[in-house]
Chains A and B, each alone.
Chain A
Amino acid sequence: MSYQIVVCAGIVPDPLQTLEPVSTPQGPALKNEAMLPAVLDPWAAHALYEANHLAKNMPGSKVYLVSLAPKAKLQQVLMTIAQKVSFELIALDGPSTGFTDSHDVAAALAAAIEAIPGLDKSRLLLFGGWESAARAAGATLSMTGERLGIREQFQGVDSLTVGSDGSFEIRERVEGGKHLVSQCSGAPAVLGWATGNLPEPPNSPQVGMQNMRTVMPALQKAKPAGVAVTQQYASVALPKQQRSTRIVRDVAAAEVARELAQWIRGAH
């Protein structure tokens, strides 16, 4: 069994910088944001390391890194991340402020993934961060998966074990330091990773050289993603760190959606 593992990863300001929220005529931003160095979203970076690990253990597998970001900033980030793990880059040029509409970003990402030559959805694993350091709502990955027609979705993933029959056992984080263990028949699936269990790989000159064969051409031909910050933000606040997991069986999707909608109305 081999996979096409597509990792969706945005870039964010280096968290080692002094980050100060400010309001600008274009909307909420960080002070001196244009000058701040960027890094790969740490949540998505874990997903990338897990993807690399899985691909190494599944001969014939391939990792794609899909990123929507300003081209120049993305290039700066890739100078580091491209030394860590092997991947083929698919670059989309656009804002990475986190204030873009997740719906638009998901549409752009899904279109880019659909355009991957030789894409085989029966082998497709869509990886990303469970959450994001990009001030986004954290919904982009799920929406991208839906657009690609992937119904098996997991969030807060800490481990993925592939069975001999190609089935997956997936451990998702729930409250109290526990995990929800799920099984599915295999690809295609969406996995939003928590931290995983792998350390950050050291920089490798060989990996960097290998990646550069595709990174620079991908950056050079990166097309505008057609995503813009069009919303007006009346106010911005940090989300409350609330999570409530309820495990139910045999409930129709429409019922789950109705309950979620009701919860959202009640919460806001």
Chain B
Amino acid sequence: MDVDIVCAGFGPAAGGFLTTLTRGLPLADGTLPQILCYERADDIGFGVSGVVTKGRGIRASFPDFDPASVPMAAPVRSEKVLYLLDPVGASRRSATLRTADSLLRAAGVPEYEAFELPHIPAFLEKHDGLILSRGQFNHGVGGQVMMSGAAQIWPGMPVAGPLIEGERVVGVQLLDHELQPGMEIRAALTVAADGPVGPVGRQLDEHFGLPEGHEKREWAVGMKMVIDLPESCPLEAGTVLHTFGFPEPEIFGFFYVHPDRVASAGIFVPSWFDNPVRTSYRYLQHYLMHPYLWRYIEGGRLRSWGAKTLNESGRRGEPHLVGDGYARIGEGSGSTNVLTGSGVDEAWTTGVLLGEAVLELLTQSLPFTKENLEAAYVRRRRASWLEEESRTAEKSRDGFHRGVVPGLIGMALAGFSHGRLHIPGAPHEHMPAVADFFSEHLDADKIEAIRVETAAAGKPLHDALMDAWGWPPIPFDGQLLVTQQDALLVGGKVQAAPGYADHVVFKDESLCASCGGQTCIAICSGQALTQGETKPAFDREKCIHCGACMWNCEHGNVEFRAGAGGLHSAEN
């Protein structure tokens, strides 16, 4: 099928792109190009993001934006940054942090085991910003685009990858279904907006490589819960809490209050967290139970849950933004600001800039060549606030590869010096083996015994290791603290459309058989991967397409292909 423009993925970037583009259509001469956008998820509102944003790009697109008009949206009213101490004694803290904790406790400072920073650096604050539900926001934006009649957005239609002929991208290939082969959608312009682990963006990276000096090695799993707050919670809509220090020093957290007694709370588990037992879900539960947060949410109820992979390489992970017949926008284009921890508004803005560029080229009847897209899109991007801020942030997190404290100092240096100063550091090449990592607490025989015991019982190894490390068991209450399997059913059951092949494939089973880390199983956000006979067993019905298995396999043995389905929550 031939169209003029095809877009892979519908998130904030595609929302900004299609909103901007369709507003300029039809052209003055009456031309109305045919524009299609394909989204893998079963609905355009099933994305995941804990959104607190300055919202500059969004407000520029919607000058009269009224948060009250979007469910779950609120203006930011108060903001705090909190250092969370370890109330359970299991957190892996460096000597520096242990000393800091002791000093804080000796000074009697930490009420509810937390220390509120007296000042929020300007580069971090989201003052005058917005708290949004990305799902609800996407719904509204997508609806407006569709009603314009100038573009079509099709959910439940996964794109398998780009169509590349020579060095030109000529469209996309839709995913095969057992009842029908995936169709070729040929287009003059292909827009890759399928996020950090989307098949189009990754295959473009593979084919064209990354610009010299660029690399995508920094990742994180962002996992969140939407919570109905108890009547006793005094927090007002618009409250924003940023946290660090617990459950592990490397794990940052957030807590945003939406209108109508609803909160979003979540954590980020980064790739530089050198723990092979990186089970985000359990860490998230320990995070919620921290006394500072628990006093607000105890008695509340889980309303929905979700997770995604974030590309935390920022500008350093920026791919070739354009080429003959294609352009990149959104998180997969390196737009996330790793210093401010902001991605949605940045992604939106990349889409707006491409929308303006495409309108310019269409108006001038210029083809979508690399040169023309460079002049129209890349030029706009380089001149925008996006570029300036991403350069400030580019090296701000390098210090975390030396430790949490150097990392925090590096962020501060980069933020206050506008990127002129930073603490250097390089990612570790290898994740420590389980036996090495736990050697201080558990001898090799004990670890092996746990491994045998959990395998026989069909239970997760990582949970047992956390127990052995000293993390207390989760007191499930069936309401807020529920098992991970139950979380998959709350607020929109995770679902996979029938007729599609498994999208997580292990390339070499012998590598899996000899892998002692099983990090892919530990990190799996939906418990879709479990211990199998020779390789991990994959349950498509539980996969939420976060893609964490891919970047957590240090052997590069996980092939994360295009797939269908995933989360069904529209509140995230």
Q: Which residues of A line the B interface, CB within 8 A?
A: 14, 16-18, 32, 34-37, 72, 75-76, 79-80, 83, 201-206, 208-209, 212, 216-217, 219-220
- The answer to whether B139 has its CB under 8 Å from any CB of chain A is yes
Q: Which of B23-31, B144-152, B412-420 contacts A (4 or more CB under 8 A)?
A: B144-152
Contacts of B45 in A (CB 8 A): 37
Q: Is A220 a contact partner of B147 (Cβ separation < 8 A)?
A: yes
A80 CA to B493 CA, complexed, in Å: 18
Contact of B492 among A17, A75, A219 (CB under 8 A): A17
Contact of A205 among B174, B499, B571 (CB under 8 A): B174
Contact of A79 among B149, B155, B179, B183 (CB under 8 A): B155
Distance to closest chain B CB from A199 (angstroms)? 8
Q: Is A79 a contact partner of B44 (Cβ separation < 8 A)?
A: yes
A72 CA to B44 CA, complexed, in Å: 13
Q: Is B156 a contact partner of A80 (Cβ separation < 8 A)?
A: yes
Given A80-B155, A80-B156: A16 in contact with B570 (beta carbons within 8 A): no
Q: Can you spell out 22 A-B residue pairs with CB atoms less than 8 angstroms apart?
A: A14-B492, A14-B568, A16-B492, A16-B495, A17-B568, A18-B304, A32-B571, A35-B136, A37-B492, A37-B570, A75-B146, A76-B143, A80-B42, A80-B43, A201-B179, A202-B180, A203-B156, A203-B157, A205-B1, A208-B157, A209-B36, A216-B149
A75 CA to B45 CA, complexed, in Å: 13
Q: Is A35 a contact partner of B570 (Cβ separation < 8 A)?
A: yes
Given A76-B43, A204-B180: A83 in contact with B570 (beta carbons within 8 A): no
- The answer to whether B393 has its CB under 8 Å from any CB of chain A is no
A38 CA to B459 CA, complexed, in Å: 36
Among the interface residues A18, A83, A201, A205, which one has the most CB atoms of the partner chain B within 10 A?
A205
- The answer to whether B491 has its CB under 8 Å from any CB of chain A is yes
Contacts of B72 in A (CB 8 A): 35
Distance to closest chain B CB from A160 (angstroms)? 22
Smallest CB-CB A-B distances: 10 pairs: A16-B493, A202-B177, A16-B568, A37-B570, A35-B71, A216-B149, A202-B179, A37-B43, A17-B492, A203-B156
A35 CA to B571 CA, complexed, in Å: 8
Given A14-B568, A16-B568, A75-B143: A212 in contact with B492 (beta carbons within 8 A): no
Q: Is B568 a contact partner of A209 (Cβ separation < 8 A)?
A: no
Give the total number of A-B pairs whose CB atoms are below 8 A apart: 88
- The answer to whether B397 has its CB under 8 Å from any CB of chain A is no
Would you list which residues of chain B between 33 and 76 have a CB under 8 Å from chain A? 36, 38, 42-46, 71-72
Contacts of B174 in A (CB 8 A): 205
- The answer to whether B185 has its CB under 8 Å from any CB of chain A is yes
Distance to closest chain A CB from B387 (angstroms)? 34
A263 CA to B322 CA, complexed, in Å: 72
As a 0/1 sequence over residues 149 to 165 of chain B, the CB contacts with chain A under 8 angstroms (1 = contact) are: 10011111100000000
- CB-based nearest B residue for A219: B147
Q: Which residues of B line the A interface, CB within 8 A?
A: 1, 36, 38, 42-46, 71-72, 136, 139, 142-143, 146-147, 149, 152-157, 174, 177, 179-180, 183, 185, 303-304, 490-493, 495, 499, 568-571
Contacts of B153 in A (CB 8 A): 79
Q: Is B499 a contact partner of A202 (Cβ separation < 8 A)?
A: yes
Contacts of A18 in B (CB 8 A): 303-304, 490-492
A226 CA to B234 CA, complexed, in Å: 43
- CB-based nearest A residue for B150: A216
A34 CA to B139 CA, complexed, in Å: 12
A73 CA to B106 CA, complexed, in Å: 57
Distance to closest chain B CB from A8 (angstroms)? 23
Contacts of B499 in A (CB 8 A): 202
- CB-based nearest B residue for A17: B492
Contacts of A80 in B (CB 8 A): 42-43, 155-156
Contacts of A219 in B (CB 8 A): 147
Q: Is A79 a contact partner of B1 (Cβ separation < 8 A)?
A: no
Q: Is B139 a contact partner of A205 (Cβ separation < 8 A)?
A: no
Distance to closest chain B CB from A91 (angstroms)? 12
A16 CA to B304 CA, complexed, in Å: 12
Distance to closest chain A CB from B146 (angstroms)? 6
Q: Is A34 a contact partner of B492 (Cβ separation < 8 A)?
A: no
Contacts of B71 in A (CB 8 A): 34-35
Q: Is B156 a contact partner of A83 (Cβ separation < 8 A)?
A: yes
A24 CA to B183 CA, complexed, in Å: 47
Q: Is B156 a contact partner of A212 (Cβ separation < 8 A)?
A: no
A75 CA to B153 CA, complexed, in Å: 11
Distance to closest chain B CB from A214 (angstroms)? 12
A10 CA to B98 CA, complexed, in Å: 61
- CB-based nearest A residue for B571: A35
Q: Is A216 a contact partner of B147 (Cβ separation < 8 A)?
A: yes
A216 CA to B179 CA, complexed, in Å: 28
